[in-house]
Amino acid sequence: MSSAPRDRDDEGRARSARPRDGLGRPLPYGARGVERQPEGVVRPPGRTLVEAQRLLDEGKPFHAHEVFEDAWKSGPDQERELWRGLAQLAVGLTHAARGNARGGARLLLRGADRISGFRDPYGVDVSGLAVWARALAARLEGGSGDPVDAFAEAPRLTRETD
C-alpha cells in the first residue's frame, strides 16, 4: 500500500496545496479554485477588518477566518480573544453555508460569547455581531438543515458611518 506524499513547507509542516472553493472545501488537484489567503501575514487591525469584510462580502467566510487567524496569532495578548472570536464567527458561517447547521450554530455562539467582553475596538460592532451570530444560530438550530447563503448572510464587522 503506497500513499501519496503530503504537501509540506520547508519546516515540514503540513500545507495543503490542493485548490479550495469559496467555502474552503478542498477540490481535486488541478481544479481551478479560489485564491488562498497567504498564511502568517501581519496586518494592522484596520487592514485586517477591511480584508476580512471584503472576503465576507464575496461570500468567502472561510477565507475571512484565515485573515482573523493571522490577527489572533500575531496580535497583542489582550486582543487575541477578539480576533479568535471573529474567526469563530466566520468559520461558523462557513459551516452553516456547507450545510453543517449544528456545527455552525455552536461556533457562532462560541464566537459571540468570546467577543462580547470587548467594547467595539477598532470600530468593530461587537454588540451587532453578537446579535447577528445568536440570531443566525437560532435559525440554524430550528431550521431545516439546508445550507445558508454565505453571501446573503455576511455580517458587517464595523458600524456604518455617514
Map out the domains of the chain as residue ranges.
45-153
**Tens digit of each residue's pLDDT (9 = 90 or more) over 51-83:** 999 999 999 999 999 999 999 999 899 999 999
What CATH number has the domain spanning 45-153?
1.10.3450.10
Tell me how far apart the alpha carbons of residues 83 and 160 are, in angstroms, rounded to a whole number. 20
Q: Is the pLDDT of residue 16 over 70?
A: no
Bridge-partner residues for 158, per DSSP? 124
Segments of the chain assigned E as strands: none
Q: Does 20 or 147 have the greater pLDDT score? A: 147
**Among 59, 51, 57, 106, residue whose Cα is nearest residue 83:** 51
Tell me how far apart the alpha carbons of residues 75 and 143 are, in angstroms, rounded to a whole number. 37
Percent of the chain with pLDDT over 70: 89
Return the pLDDT at 83.
Answer: 97
Mean pLDDT over residues 77-95, rounded? Answer: 97
Q: Average pLDDT of the chain? A: 88
Return the pLDDT at 24.
Answer: 82
